[in-house]
Amino acid sequence: MKLEIKNITENPVNMLRRAGYSFQRHEGEEMSFVRPFSASGYPRFHMYVNVSGTDMTINIHLDMKKETYGEGTRHHGEYENEGALKDEVRRLKVILE
């Protein structure tokens, strides 16, 4: 699910830390952030953030458990605008806009 925040006035890492997210890594032009629900790390909200000028685009999903790779690769996530993900996007809009 995508969320666009226009005209940001501060460092995006600081903005997302204030929202409870931890910086994970850079992947090219994108930054990866997570907000886990438990000490095990899953489930968690996971986002990729791209900043262009003063605009920030957040691509967010909910990882239910650690991904599995190999034959029949599966990424156990929710990407639709419903349930917990919908509530989290609503919360982020209040904090970031």
- Residues paired with 15 in a beta bridge: none
Q: Which pTM was predicted?
A: 0.84
| CA distances (Å), origin 38, targets 49, 83, 87 | 23, 18, 18
Q: CA 48, CA 40: separation in Å to the nearest integer?
A: 21
pLDDT: which is higher, 4 or 64:
4
Range of the domain at 48: 2-96
pLDDT tens for each residue of 42-92: 899 999 999 999 999 999 998 887 765 555 545 556 667 778 889 999 999
CATH number of residue 54's parent domain: 3.30.310
Residue listed under structure tokens 């005209």: 7
The tally of domains found in the chain comes to 1
Q: What is the pLDDT of residue 69?
A: 56
Instruction: Judge contact between 1 and 89, C-beta under 8 A.
Output: yes
Q: What is the pLDDT of residue 80?
A: 72
Q: What is the pLDDT of residue 78?
A: 63
